[in-house]
Amino acid sequence: MKYRITHVTTYAYAAEVSVSHHLLHLHPRELPRQRVESFDLVVQPKPTVRTSRIDYFGNHAEVITVEEAHRHLEIIAGSRVEVDPSPSRARLESPPWERVALGCRGETWDESSVPGEYRFDSPHVRRGDGPLGYARPSFVAGRPWLEAVAHLSSRIHREFKFDARATSVSTPVEEVLKGRKGVCQDFAHLMLACLRSLGLPARYVSGYLETLPPPGRARLVGADASHAWVSAWCPGVGWLDYDPTNDCVPGERHVTLAWGRDFSDVSPIRGVLVGSGEHQLRVSVDVEPVEVATSAT
């Protein structure tokens, strides 16, 4: 699939802001099955400083500074991306999950050193007895890693209710676990906490998901949203993505923006202001299919 993605973020401040600094993760990643044809960023008022870099996790990061006084700030990111379907996992094999956890402590596989960084606590994901206890029914002794991780993802989908009003960006995993409600970010953080509590590497993936309108209804422009899912690592298999919110393998409808330890590493926009701290925020995302990619025969 090919998509035209428009992500519009608008801030309306209660009082004048003299200076604002923002870190942006809005540029999709180049991946073996994802190609970025174009990326444009428009900011009003025009930034005095704008720099681009690749961060520690390999994500595109933009830093902007607006130094003129302003009451409104608008950031429009536009991308054209082509995404291939995910390869079938039917013939994949994996060792028991205990061997993976052992190897990621550096005792078995040398290539585990980088993935092993994703075994530890991060600002929004803490290992603990709660996530460990929730994970145990999926990770019984000797169960293959592939089967166990997929089972955990499916359980989160079945046993937790999607409720956009139940949590906030700062809601801890333990509270999500008790309330059994949340959004994609919460379900991703919970799955990460479960896997890391078992000693298994897993990272947070941010991106977009093409949403489909109800039968017989037209697409609503701007009604899509940012999305989050999990990527887990196994030696000999590599990184595999899981979407616990939708109980699916991320495929051609998932567009990857960035990944890191948790949401704090890949927040689409975060900033520091000199001036008004109170503001209204509006976010509009449109993931529009532009054509079906076909290969020559």
| Structure token digits, residue 12 | 């309306």
User: pLDDT tens digits for 226-256?
Assistant: 899 999 999 889 999 999 999 999 999 999 9
**Closest by CA position to 184, among listed 222, 134, 230, 143:** 230
Query: In whole angstroms, what is the distance from residue 247 CA to residue 203 CA?
Result: 17
Decide if 73 contacts 45 (C-beta within 8 A): yes
Does residue 66 or residue 105 have the better pLDDT?
66
For the segment 187-200, the average pLDDT, to the nearest whole number, is 97
Decide if 264 contacts 124 (C-beta within 8 A): yes
User: pLDDT tens digits for 272-288?
Assistant: 888 866 889 999 999 99
- Asked if the model's pLDDT at residue 263 lies above 60, the reply is yes
For the segment 191-216, the average pLDDT, to the nearest whole number, is 90
Query: Helices 145-159 and 184-197 meet at what angle, rounded to 10?
Result: 140
- Asked if the model's pLDDT at residue 221 lies above 90, the reply is no
Q: Give pLDDT, residue 214.
A: 63
Q: Give pLDDT, residue 212.
A: 74
| Cα 83 → chain centroid | 16
Decide if 185 contacts 166 (C-beta within 8 A): no
In the chain, list all ranges with CATH 3.10.620.30.
Answer: 97-263
User: pLDDT tens digits for 74-95?
Assistant: 999 999 999 999 999 999 999 9
Look at the domain 97-263 and name its fold.
C8orf32 fold (3.10.620)
Q: Give pLDDT, residue 107.
A: 53
Does residue 37 or residue 114 have the better pLDDT?
37
Q: Give pLDDT, residue 295.
A: 47
Q: Give pLDDT, residue 211.
A: 82
- What's the mean per-residue pLDDT of the chain? 91
Q: Give pLDDT, residue 273.
A: 86
- CATH of 2-84+267-291 among 3.90.870.10, 2.60.40.2250, 3.40.50.2020, 1.10.1660.10: 2.60.40.2250
For the segment 15-34, the average pLDDT, to the nearest whole number, is 96
- Asked if the model's pLDDT at residue 296 lies above 60, the reply is no
User: pLDDT tens digits for 119-178?
Assistant: 999 999 999 999 999 999 999 999 999 999 999 999 999 999 999 999 998 899 999 999
Query: In whole angstroms, what is the distance from residue 185 CA to residue 178 CA?
Result: 16
- Asked if the model's pLDDT at residue 291 lies above 80, the reply is no
Strands 34-44 and 202-209, bridge-based pairing: unpaired
- Asked if the model's pLDDT at residue 7 lies above 50, the reply is yes
